[in-house]
Amino acid sequence: MQSFLVLEDVDSLLLSVWKLFHYSSQKYVIFMDAQKAYGMKNLKIVRAAATRWLSHGHACRRLIERFVQVLDSLDEMIDRRHDPEIEGIRNMLCSKSTFAGILILCDLLEPVIVFSNYLQGASIDF
């Protein structure tokens, strides 16, 4: 991963967004309200585990599914209190290379997740 800086940025972003909503009930409520405002089912941000690349696939997919709601939540947090950390997360999320990395990683990992689920299924007999 160290050879590809965009992967480090994606990994850092996924963890930062998860931590932001996971460790603050106020920020979590803002995110839930943003989803509700769009008439969407409330979903949590998925944690990307450093050693589990399949979790990165799930985390990327969720971030893509709730991209607008995450941005709206970050904007509301910035409006309430100008926090440089939140502004940094928003800037990284809006970075073309980081967002492209998320999309590409999601597409690359999707078939691996499907194959992994197949191998773990009850119908497999080695």
**Tens digits of per-residue pLDDT, 15-64?**
999 999 999 999 999 999 999 999 999 999 999 987 787 888 999 999 99
pLDDT in the model for residue 78 = 96
Does residue 1 register a pLDDT over 70?
A: no
**Residue 75, amino acid:** D
The answer to whether position 120 is within a domain reads: no
The answer to whether position 126 is within a domain reads: no
Rounded CA separation 47/44 (Å): 9
Are 99 and 10 within 8 A, CB to CB?
no
Write down the residue that tokens 């998860």 correspond to: 18
Residue 32 belongs to domain spanning:
5-114
Give the total number of structural domains in the chain.
1
DSSP state of 124: -
Question: Which two structure tokens, joined as six digits, stand for 81?
Answer: 């209190």
The answer to whether position 21 is within a domain reads: yes
**Residue 46, amino acid:** V
Q: Find, among 13, 15, 27, the residue nearest to 94 by Cα.
A: 13
The answer to whether position 124 is within a domain reads: no
Instruction: Answer whether 0.85 is exceeded by the pTM.
Output: yes
- How high does pLDDT run on average in the chain? 92
Does residue 125 register a pLDDT over 90?
A: no
